[in-house]
C-alpha cells in the first residue's frame, strides 16, 4: 500500500426523500411534517462520495434505473470524481429510494425501497474484477442482493484485499458473508440484530464486547461498533477498547455511519493502523452530523484538517 488510497465501494444508490416530523404516524394516520428535501443517498453511494472527498481514488459498483433519478445519480457521482466504469443501469426497475424521517434531535429512521439496487448481479461483480484487483480496500453494505454482496466479498477476499462489511440494514443470517470480512462495522442496534437480539434491548459494554466476539468467531479480525455520541468500540479477539466521542451539536445523523466507513477505508488503504483509522473515522462521523442532508454534510480532506485542528486547539485550552 502507499500513494493514493484505492477504494472500491460495491453497493447501493438511493434517492433520499427527507422530511422532519415530531413523531412517526400510526397506521391509518396522516401527520404533518416539514422541511422536505430530496437528494442523493444510499449507503454505497454515500460511502463512495465520502471516500473520494477524503482523498481516495474511488470506484463505485452499483445499479441505478434508466429514470430521472438514475441520471441524477450519474451526474452527481461523476462530479465527485468517482469511477463509474462498472455502474450498471436497468430499465426493469426504478432507482432505489430511501424515505428518511428526522426528529428534532437529528435522529433518523429510514425505509428503503431498493429497486434497481437488486438488479446488481454476480455477473456484474465478475465484470468488475479489474477494479477489485486494483483496490486496496473494498467496502460493502447490505442494500443489494446478499448473493451479490457475498460474491463481491469472496472475490476481494480471494485476492487478499482488506474487506470492510458495514452490515446495514442489519440482518441475522450473515455467516456466509462474515467469513470473507476483515472488519465489520455495525452500529449498536445492528450488532444486536446480527446476534438475534431485538434492537431496543438494553445491553452493557461487556455484553457488547461478547456480541462482537460472536461475530469475530465467524471470521473477521475485528468488529468496530459505532456508538454515535458515545464514540466507537473496537473489539478484537483478545482485547477491546473504546474511542472517545468528539462533542459536536448534531443536526442530522443521516450518513454519519457512511462517512465513518469511508474514512476507515481510506485511512486503512493509506496504511494507517486500525486504531488510528478508526479514530479518524470517528472524527469524520462527528463532522457529518453537524450538517443537514447527507452529501452536503460529507467533509473533504481539507475540511477535516481544519476541523481536527480546531478540536485540538479546544482540548489544549
Place of cell 412517526: 24
Q: Closest separation between CB of residue 162 and ligand RIB, Å?
A: 21
For ligand RIB, the closer of residues 143 and 270 by Cβ is 143
Strand pairing report for 108-113 and 14-20: unpaired
Q: Closest separation between CB of residue 96 and ligand RIB, Å?
A: 7
For ligand RIB, the closer of residues 40 and 209 by Cβ is 40
Q: Closest separation between CB of residue 238 and ligand RIB, Å?
A: 31
For ligand RIB, the closer of residues 65 and 98 by Cβ is 98
For ligand RIB, the closer of residues 182 and 261 by Cβ is 261
Which cell numbers hold the place of 156? Answer: 476481494
Q: Closest separation between CB of residue 107 and ligand RIB, Å?
A: 13
Distance CA 246, CA 227 (A): 12
Distance CA 84, CA 78 (A): 7
Active site residue 258: yes
Determine which one of 67, 136, 252, 258 is catalytic. 258
Distance CA 58, CA 4 (A): 10
Provide the angle, in degrees to the nearest 10, between the axes of the packed helices 68-79 and 43-53: 20
| b/e sequence 72-97, b meaning 16+ C-beta within 10 Å | bbeebbeebebbbebbbbbeebbbbb
For ligand RIB, the closer of residues 231 and 255 by Cβ is 255
Binding site for ligand RIB (CB under 6 A): 12, 14, 16, 41-43, 46, 98, 110, 112, 143, 254-255, 257-258, 294
Q: Closest separation between CB of residue 75 and ligand RIB, Å?
A: 17
Let me know: does 232 contact 254? Beta carbons within 8 Å: no
Separation in Å, CA 149 to CA 11, 141, 172? 8, 8, 15
Distance CA 234, CA 185 (A): 9
Place of cell 430521472: 68
Catalytic sites, residue numbers: 258
Amino acid at each position: 500500500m502507499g500513494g493514493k488510497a484505492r477504494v472500491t465501494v460495491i453497493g447501493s444508490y438511493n434517492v433520499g426523500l427527507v422530511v422532519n416530523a415530531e413523531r412517526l404516524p400510526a397506521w391509518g394516520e396522516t401527520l404533518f411534517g416539514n422541511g422536505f428535501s430530496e437528494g442523493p443517498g444510499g449507503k454505497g453511494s454515500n460511502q463512495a462520495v465520502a471516500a473520494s472527498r477524503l482523498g481516495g481514488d474511488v470506484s463505485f459498483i452499483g445499479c441505478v434505473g434508466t429514470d430521472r433519478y438514475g441520471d441524477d445519480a450519474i451526474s452527481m457521482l461523476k462530479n465527485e470524481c468517482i469511477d463509474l466504469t462498472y455502474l450498471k443501469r436497468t430499465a426493469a426497475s426504478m432507482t432505489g429510494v430511501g424515505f428518511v424521517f428526522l426528529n428534532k434531535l437529528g435522529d433518523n429512521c429510514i425505509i428503503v425501497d431498493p429497486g434497481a439496487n437488486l438488479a446488481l448481479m454476480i455477473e456484474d461483480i465478475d465484470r468488475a474484477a479489474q477494479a477489485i484487483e486494483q483496490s486496496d480496500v473494498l467496502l460493502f453494505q447490505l442494500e443489494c442482493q446478499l448473493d451479490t454482496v457475498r460474491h463481491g466479498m469472496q472475490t476481494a477476499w480471494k485476492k487478499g484485499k482488506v474487506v470492510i462489511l458495514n452490515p446495514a440494514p442489519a440482518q441475522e443470517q450473515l455467516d456466509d458473508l462474515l467469513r470473507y470480512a476483515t472488519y465489520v462495522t455495525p452500529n449498536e442496534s445492528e450488532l444486536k440484530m446480527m446476534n438475534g437480539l431485538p434492537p431496543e434491548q438494553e445491553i452493557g459494554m461487556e455484553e457488547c464486547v461478547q456480541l462482537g466476539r460472536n461475530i469475530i468467531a465467524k471470521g473477521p479480525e475485528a468488529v468496530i461498533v459505532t456508538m454515535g455520541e458515545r464514540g466507537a468500540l473496537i473489539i478484537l479477539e483478545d482485547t477491546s477498547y473504546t474511542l472517545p466521542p468528539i462533542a459536536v451539536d448534531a443536526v442530522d445523523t443521516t450518513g454519519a455511519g457512511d462517512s465513518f466507513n469511508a474514512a476507515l477505508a481510506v485511512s486503512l488503504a493509506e496504511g494507517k493502523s486500525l486504531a488510528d483509522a478508526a479514530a479518524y473515522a470517528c472524527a469524520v462521523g462527528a463532522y457529518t452530523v453537524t450538517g443537514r442532508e447527507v452529501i452536503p454534510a460529507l467533509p473533504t480532506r481539507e475540511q477535516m484538517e481544519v476541523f481536527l485542528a480546531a478540536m485540538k486547539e479546544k482540548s489544549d485550552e
